[in-house]
Structure 1
C-alpha cells in the first residue's frame, strides 16, 4: 500500500518518460474510484506514452511532484481545442496520489503550471472540474481561477449523472497573438 509518513520536501519538475508508471498509478486510482475524471477505463502504458508525447511535443508543461523519490502528483496542460484560434487557451489537469494529499502538492503543481504557461504566452487556462465536490474547485479559486459556467448532466459514471464546472484564469497582459506553442 501507500506510505503515510513523508520525510522530505516536495520537488516539482518537468516530467520524463521514467515518471509515467507513477503517473499512471495515480490516475488509475481516480479512474477506478472517483468522479474526478470521466474516463471509464484506466489507460495503459502505451496510451500514457502517447499523451505524454503529444503534450511535451507541443511545448506545453507536463510536471511531476516527488516526495521521498516517489511520484506523488502530476499536472499538465493540453490544448483546449484544436482550432488555431484557440492556440492561446489550454486546459489544466492536476492529480495528487492519495497518500500525498494534504502536503500542498496540488497548489505547488498548479502554481508551476500557471507560471510556465504564462512564460509561453498562454492567455487562458480552463479547468473542467467534475461536479463540485472535493478540493479541486477550492484549489483553483485560491489560484485566481473564476467560475465560468456549469454544464449539467454531461457525464455518467458510477451510476449517476454528473455536472462539470468550468473555471478560468487569464494570464499575460495583452491580447496580441504572442509566441505560443503549436497545437498539432
Structure 2
C-alpha cells in the first residue's frame, strides 16, 4: 500500500522522470518495475529500507515486513538478513581489534575465503600488488586488457580492507563510466556479497 501511495504521489507531482521511462508503464500509470525490489539497504525492527527497480536511491521507502509478501520480496528479505548475519558474526570476531593498525604486510597465495569464488593466479598477484601498495601508502593504477578481472581485483581489495585489516571502514568511492555500472554492481554482488553498496 505504501508503495502505491508513493508512486501515485510521484505521478500527481510530475516526478515520473526520477524513475524509468514510460515504456513499461501500466494502465494505472505506474511502471511495472516500481513494484519490484532491487535490494534492501537497511532495517529497523520490522521495517526495511527498500530500493526499487528503476528508481533512484532518493525514492527508497521504509516498508513493513508484512507488506513484503510476494515470493520475490521474501527472497530479497532473506538475502538481506543473511548478509546482516554474516556482518554481525564478522564484527563479533573482530571486536576489540578494529582500531589496531596493520603492522605487517603478508602475501596471499590462494583466493581468500571472504570472496565468493576463486581468483586466477594472475588476479591473486594483482590483488597482492594492490594490497602491498596500500600498505606502503602508494597510489597506483591497475591497468590491463579488457576482460581480465580488474573489477574483481578492486572489489577483492575492498573486501580485503574490511576483513583482513579488521575494519568496517568506508565508504569507498568508485567512479566508473555509465556503461560499466551494471557490470560493477553484478561483480560486487557475486564476489563480495557482504559489501553493502549503492549506485548513485
Using the size of structure 2 for normalisation, the TM-score is 0.26
Instruction: Identify, as 1 or 2, the structure richer in helix.
Output: 2
Higher RCO (CA < 8 A, seq sep 6+):
1
Higher share in strand: 1
Q: For the pair shown, which has the larger CA radius of gyration, 1 or 2?
A: 2
